[in-house]
Structure 1
Amino acid sequence: MKMKGFEYLEEELQEMKEYGLFRTLVPIESDQGAKVVINGQEVLQLSSNNYLGLTNHPRMKEAALKSVEKYGAGTGSVRTIAGTFSMHEEFEKKLANFKHTEATLVLQSGFTANQAILSSILTKDDVVISDELNHASIIDGIRLTKAARKIYKHVDMDSLEAALKESGDYRKRLVVTDGVFSMDGNIAPLPAIVELCEKYDALIMVDDAHASGVLGRNGRGTVDHFDLNGRVHIQVGTLSKAIGVLGGYIASTQAVRDYIIHKGRPFLFSTSHPPAVTAACSEAIDILIDEPELIERLWDNAKFLKDGLRALGFETGISETPITPVIVGDGAKAHELSDKLLSHGVFAQGIAFPTVAKGAARVRTIVTATHTKEQLQEALHAFEKCGKELGII
């Protein structure tokens, strides 16, 4: 029997289908490697955030398995009641040392990390100043605070300075930026942002989701990449992308850690990470230190694909990182390119409004350290064939 009441949702979904924007989830039937199995067919994976291939690293899998045998499948509680295992605090100390900060706190995801920090440390007496292309988790975190908010034009330092000048009467000014912008692959001009924040006595927060494990020495992120250690008040990152597992973290001072433990609702009301997750994340930090060649291979592969796509005539925007968008413009055409690529053995997802602006739809590619040059050349051949068939190049 069909339940009544959701006709308005069905109408909107039907409209999405008519415009070619409705998408279904794509189940992967294998591990997350350079190649994956979809609908029984092996295809090249160019949509994963598994930058360094750590999801399948033997040391990661061994650490996860050993921890399950010793500590079980779950923790059974939130951190503040009975869900803090010694391994949680040991990992956070290791992570703080890696990030060159006084302390860290691990949460369930990068999304909840942004919500926890933004919703808790700001009041109606404060103002948050955010880049207009910041991640959705930052936007939603800002929505949860009573602080005033200002938006500055994307990576525009004149616009940022104007916002800082206009907000001198607030108790605290917090400037928030992505370190690497997830849709365009460009890097925030962090040195200039830090200088402005120091000039106007503002706090600065960097979301390093796509920089953790990718930029900086041994993957320490954009702060380390620009030699700004000790000058950025809050760093947020994920353990779900280059680190290869699950989670988010806040790297800052001991005072910030203690405050979030007491006031951060996503931390207070979510069960702690299971032992396998924590053990594998901890092992990942050791691998970043022991195997820096993974990051070197990632960047070499990124340059190969980026150069190849540009040589074919594709528009790749302002990307400076392993995130390389193939910008098509029309949302339906971006999805059509994605579907056609899959039929030619390449899994590269189309992304359209509202994830990106209308008229800026693209197929977003991300290479990994585990791709071979032969595989990437295969991908370029597929892009060339499909791009010409659709009149994109």
Structure 2
Amino acid sequence: MDWMEKELAALTGEGLERTLTWHAPITDNPGYLLRENRMLLDLSSNDYLGLAGHSAVVEAMRQALFVEGAGSGASRLVTGNRRPYRVLEEQLAAWQQSEAALVFGSGYIANIGVIQALVSRDDVVFSDKLNHASIVDGIALSRAEHARYRHNDMEHLRSLLNRHRDKRRKLIVTDAVFSMDGDCAPLQELVALKREYGAMLMVDEAHSGGLYGPRGEGLCHKLGLSNEVDIHMGTFSKSFGVYGAYVCGSHILIQWLINRARPLIYSTALPPSVITGISQALALVQDEHWRRERLSAASRRFRSMLGEAGFEIGRGDSPIIPIIVGDNAKALRFSSALEEEGIATVAIRPPTVPSGTARIRFSLSAVHSDEDLNRAAAAIRRIAIELGVLRS
């Protein structure tokens, strides 16, 4: 297995090797974490609403452990389909105003399972070039033709739809908010093209669920387009602070997925305690509007501070705010320098992002204070000037 050592050495030389770093939450100081016994401001996690350590979620999970046990014991189609699943899926369908809902083990599993279940060799999937890796892998595993359109380029998508208009099944799939750039998909235009070409439309709300809409339903609801989306997918690992994923849609869609989504059929069900925690988090997402309001205000403010400092941060209002560095090694130095200042960030490098676009990706939470963000913005500007990322 010497080839592995050589390949890893090459990755290290290119500034692309990954390593695991231990972290621990600070329960009495949300928005911070411990790394090697140092307290750092956490500007990297996806705990957008600050629910990962919420006492009500933790207590709901604790109580469920005593009633349901540690694990589910089997897949949902065998004996793993416990009562908390039914409760949660009914809550999800009501929240999304859909006919039915189905819980999956993770967002990655959901995207792979749904895409494989909907399309195969004789079909085509139209996918935004910046869609999440789970969507890309789901398309590859489905063996459908993969027609990638340039990021948010609706004219390019139209040309591809024209080229493949005679395919048996056509599926358009997009992130609602793109995880590495923080911008939003043009959902109104995607709905119009879906109608015109008779395609199915799947929207991944992983980074928008909980943040948009009157009760956190997501970007589709905020724009009044929820009834136009055929497959509505979201995760519980970001705004909900727990783990897992969901798909909402028609009764027939959910029944089809139960019969054809291989990751659902062949995976052990999530522990019932996790499902119970999600139910509690869903109630908080819907009821505690202040979390969305606080996060929205913090995102606008932080974007404004970085823009005034001279950074080009792109369009959008999401809590995902990237600074493009370009060079992998420089992005790593940027991240290390921020850690020295007490700020936890991660250098995002290829293949997660396109070559030459290594970046520092800031991710805000409702629990970050104005003082936290003021201090972070000042340190980011100073370090960027020192590294030549930003001119003084």
Contact 2:42/2:344 (<8 A) preserved: yes
User: Superposed, which structure 2 residues align to 1:176-195 within 5 Å?
Assistant: 176-195=173-192
* Deviations, residues 192-213 of structure 1 (Å, cap 9, x unaligned): 1101111111110001110111
Which whole-Å CA distance do the structure 1 matches of 2:248 and 2:292 have between them? Answer: 22
Stretches of structure 2 lacking an aligned partner (at least 5 in a row)? none
Structure 2 residue aligned with 1:252: 249
Task: Give the distance between the partners of 1:186 and 1:169, measured in 2 at CA.
Answer: 32
- The answer to whether the aligner puts 1:125 opposite 2:88 as a matched pair is no
- Rounded to whole Å, the distance in 1 between the matches of 2:101 and 2:370 is 37
Equivalent-residue separation in structure 2 for 1:241 and 1:51 (angstroms):
6
Do 1:120 and 1:260's aligned partners in 2 also have CA atoms closer than 8 Å? yes
For 2:206, the aligned partner's letter is A
CA distance in 1, matches of 2:35, 2:263: 34
> 2:7 aligned with 1:12, yes or no?
yes
Normalising by structure 2, what TM-score? 0.96
Match of 1:113 in 2: 110
- Given that 1:317 and 1:327 are in contact with CA atoms closer than 8 Å, whether structure 2 keeps it comes out as no
- Match in the other structure for 1:217: 214
Q: Secondary structure at the match of 1:120?
A: helix
1:385 equivalent in alignment to 2:356:
no
Gaps of 5+ in 1: none
Q: Which amino acid aligns with 1:10?
A: E
More displaced stretch, 29-38 vs 250-259: 29-38
Q: Distance in 1 between matches of 2:387 and 2:19?
A: 22
Could you give the per-residue CA deviations for residues 60-113 of structure 1, whole angstroms, max 9, x where no partner exists?
111111111211111111100000001101101110111111111111100000
Which residue number in structure 1 is paired with residue 47 of structure 2?
A: 50
Match of 1:135 among 121, 132, 135: 132
Mapped to 2, the partners of 1:80 and 1:143 lie a distance apart of 26
Secondary structure at the aligned position of 1:50 is classed as coil
User: Could you say which residue in structure 1 is the equivalent of 2:88?
Assistant: 91
- Say whether residues 1:310 and 2:307 are aligned partners: yes
Query: Partner letter of residue 253 of structure 2?
Result: V
Instruction: With the length of structure 1 as denominator, give the TM-score of the two structures.
Output: 0.96
Match of 2:294 among 289, 292, 297: 297
Q: What SS does the corresponding residue of 2:228 show, helix, strand or coil? A: coil
Q: Which moved more, 1:313-322 or 1:274-283?
A: 313-322
After TM superposition, list the pairs within 5 Å mapping 1:358-373 onto structure 2: 358-373=355-370
Between the aligned partners of 2:235 and 2:313, the Cα distance in structure 1 is: 25
User: Alpha carbons of 1:268 and 1:36: their partners in 2 closer, same or farther (altered >3 Å)?
Assistant: same
- Provide the residue aligned with 2:239 in structure 1: 242
After superposition, the C-alpha distances for 1:225-254 in whole angstroms (9 at most, x for unaligned) are: 110121110011111111110001111111
**Residue in 2 that maps onto 1:348:** 345
Q: Percent identity?
A: 38
After superposition, what is the alpha-carbon deviation per residue over 1:267-313, rounded to whole angstroms, capped at 9, x for unaligned? 01111111221011111111112111100001111112111111112
Matching residue of 2:17: 22
Asked if structure 2 preserves the Cα contact closer than 8 Å seen for 1:78 and 1:268, the reply is yes
Partner of 1:172: 169
